[in-house]
Amino acid sequence: MTTSHTRFVAHLDILGMASIVDRDPEEAWSMLSALVDARDASTNVSIEFQSLGKLIHVPDHVKAITFSDTIFLFTHGITDADLRALIVSVSQIFCSALFNRVPVRVGIAKGELFVNFERSMYAGPALIEAYHVGESAQWLGIVFSPKSAEDAKTLGLTSGKSNVVVNWEVPTKQAIEERSVINWPAIMASQLKVAPPFATEDFYEIFRPTFGPFSDLPQDVRIKYENTVTFFNEQYDAHMA
């Protein structure tokens, strides 16, 4: 049965996957496996929100689909609980991916999505928008579309004393655009073994075994890591201040 609802949708893919597959298919499969492990760990849990005094069971709110190097997640509806579950799941997947040296970027949108589980069919404007929002950003990060950002900000999610959703001037393929993004440096701050600030090449070092020396990367790829480190250092510094 096909259903159509307004939902929150997240699109996540691995940066540079095509080049990895060409060079080392086994490494590509290993990276995808690590990403799927992160997906499973973040979408099959219950999350306690102390400010609400309630427990949210993520599978009741979020469904995750994997194809090739892409994972997309969508909510059952557009309730606050749906969006909370999605934000936490996506944030955990992103942070786990980085720890497993898998570079990913994510877009989150709100809109119509058609779903037919029996025939494995998923399509709609929200999925397309989530893809474009994530793919256009020139960094490793999690970006909201304007409509989804309005809902995300009203939740008031925090990590320590930092807001989980913050505004940032995100470099895109066309320009620099102020967007709402997930403050993943604050979320993973307590898990870091080495304290920032990081130089770009230091941050990139975990990806070196897969992609080679930083200096050998194409200029447009190096810029993505540089933009990521700028965001990371500033948000971490604000979180620790």
Closest CA to 86 of 47, 50, 124, 52: 47
Indicate the fold that domain 3-240 takes in CATH.
Answer: Alpha-Beta Plaits (3.30.70)
The reported pLDDT for the residue numbered 51 is 62
Closest CA to 87 of 56, 51, 112, 116: 56
Per-residue DSSP letter, 160: T
For 153-163, give one letter per residue: b (16+ CB within 10 A) or e.
bebebebeebb
How many angstroms separate the CA atoms of 100 and 54, rounded? 31
pLDDT tens per residue, the chain (241 residues)?
A: 556 689 999 999 988 888 888 888 888 888 889 888 988 888 888 877 756 667 788 889 999 999 888 999 999 999 999 999 999 999 999 999 998 889 999 999 999 999 998 888 999 999 999 999 999 999 999 999 999 999 999 999 999 889 999 999 999 988 999 999 999 999 998 888 777 888 999 999 999 988 999 999 999 999 999 999 999 999 999 998 8
Listed by start position, the domains of the chain span 3-240
Q: Using alpha carbons only, what angle is made at residue 174 by residues 22 and 204, rounded to the nearest 5 degrees?
A: 45
The reported pLDDT for the residue numbered 4 is 60
The reported pLDDT for the residue numbered 222 is 95
Contact 173, 135 (CB under 8 A): no
The residue behind tokens 């786990």 is 96
